[in-house]
Chains A and B, each alone.
Chain A
């Protein structure tokens, strides 16, 4: 564990040094690729004037709502669809048709329907998570071992009790993996979503820095986005450690 941690840290350090060295040595202009030191300065500047905090909160707020709405609708629906073979046969083509459409393609629509501000961004995040989550959840229900379903039938599990005590827990390990993947995409999409008409957020921070010709701030914004993405992934990975889902890791 310690070896791994030091390894990662020294790799980051090495990359920073190389970056600084290469950009200084070849005299790469700041507007082409800013040096790590100026990026660090920009980070400090944004940290001290509260820009970073304010914009991170705005982005996290939108991702949270969009993602939660998707989770709250897609998972119950996906669980249900996984058990309803005829309904699935009807809806599946529609879902598969909508799924590959990038949420960014919805931007014009989102602006027209929801105006400017948080709502279109939340809507785009929702879209980016909703379809993958439905597909993942449905397929994880289909992958539940027949024996578990037979046992459930044998012990008379029905209705809500069947979903809460058998279907959901059996599908949960796969669903958690799906949550990890979709949260990653949601965080990807937020930057693009905030490049449309909002006045805050990390995506806005980047586009605004670009318009002000501040490449150092652009890169600083990228660094923050990467860091928050990493933290989000680590938080959601904690779910994998719940005792009731550990079995899936043991079995593999």
Chain B
């Protein structure tokens, strides 16, 4: 049985919310159907990357699958159960900074744990700080950390809950190029260390190619699954040669980007 089973996911804002804000947005796009029948299924333990042109509804899909929003129609099943809200076994890392700025890094990470004795918590938090390379930074507040460190702390906060699914919505989009490459490496390690399913949204095709066991390409809005690719290349992956390089070209081509390479 697959871990995440999504069938016929549709979302359109006009029919559900008649707020002015949305209406004006709809005028702009003339059609406010964001998702138009997205269907996919992901087995447990998969690192699934979602790519697609900007504004295609990746984040909307993300919020629906992770349980923060309801679809207009279609179903999301996790372990065969319909998703009705965000669950503690499915942790999200959002596009924007999600660390609580009023807590220190350590306090943020400890948030993921509940009701253990305090020494236990402290030790476990220290372990996870070390895991993401933040040893000694536990007492720092998020604004005292760099963008990359904040992301690491957030990943640590997600991991400490020992989640079955990790949802990540363009988590490294705001980072500089080198930091992004480092984070990719760490994500590969994390996925190998923890037995969990990762649903990873990105606009960076290279990122998807380097991380994913699956790459699901969404079409322009209203979006549907345009291409579903399975990859089993070993890590680290070299994108400049071989079939990965061809695959990359193909993805760009299908996204309508003929001049990109």
Contacts and interface: CB of A to CB of B under 8 A. Distances in A.
Given A169-B102, A247-B141, A154 B91 contact: yes
A145 B96 contact: yes
Interface string A143-156: 00101101101111
Given A151-B98, A155-B112, A251 B143 contact: yes
A166 interface: yes
B100 interface: yes
A28 B101 CA distance: 58
A90 interface: no
Contacts of B68: 150, 153
Contacts of A166: 100
A245 interface: yes
Given A147-B97, A150-B94, A246-B143, A155 B102 contact: no
A8 B90 CA distance: 57
A10 interface: no
A154 B96 contact: no
B100 A154 contact: no
Interface string B52-85: 0000000000000010100000000000000001
B37 interface: no
Contacts of B8: none
A84 interface: no
A155 B88 contact: yes
Interface in B102-136: 102-103, 111-112, 114
Interface centre among A145, A151, A165 (most CB of B within 10 A): A151
A165 B143 CA distance: 18
A170 interface: yes
Nearest to A155: B111
A125 B102 CA distance: 31
Contacts of A244: 102-103, 141
Main secondary structure of the interface of B (DSSP, over half): loop
B216 interface: no
Contact of A150 (B92, B97, B102, B141): B92
A29 interface: no
A165 B114 CA distance: 14
B174 to A, nearest CB: 13
Main secondary structure of the interface of A (DSSP, over half): helix
B86 interface: yes
B143 A147 contact: no
A247 B94 contact: no
Interface in A201-248: 243-248
B171 interface: no
Nearest to A250: B143
Interface string A134-169: 000000000001011011011110000000011001
B142 interface: yes
Given A145-B96, A154-B92, A155-B111, A247 B102 contact: yes
B112 A151 contact: no
A172 B100 CA distance: 13
A154 B96 CA distance: 15
Interface string B211-231: 000000000000000000000
A251 B142 CA distance: 11
A51 B101 CA distance: 47
A245 B102 contact: yes
Contact of B102 (A151, A153, A156, A170): A170
A243 B141 contact: yes
A148 B100 contact: yes
22 contacts: A145-B96, A147-B96, A147-B97, A150-B68, A150-B94, A151-B94, A151-B98, A151-B100, A153-B86, A154-B88, A154-B91, A155-B111, A156-B114, A170-B100, A172-B102, A244-B103, A244-B141, A245-B102, A246-B141, A247-B143, A248-B101, A251-B101
Q: Which 6 A-B pairs have the closest CB atoms?
A: A247-B101, A169-B102, A244-B102, A250-B143, A247-B143, A151-B98
Interface of B: 66, 68, 85-86, 88, 90-92, 94, 96-98, 100-103, 111-112, 114, 141-143, 161
Given A150-B94, A151-B100, A153-B86, 6 more contacts: A153-B85, A154-B88, A246-B143, A247-B101, A250-B143, A251-B143
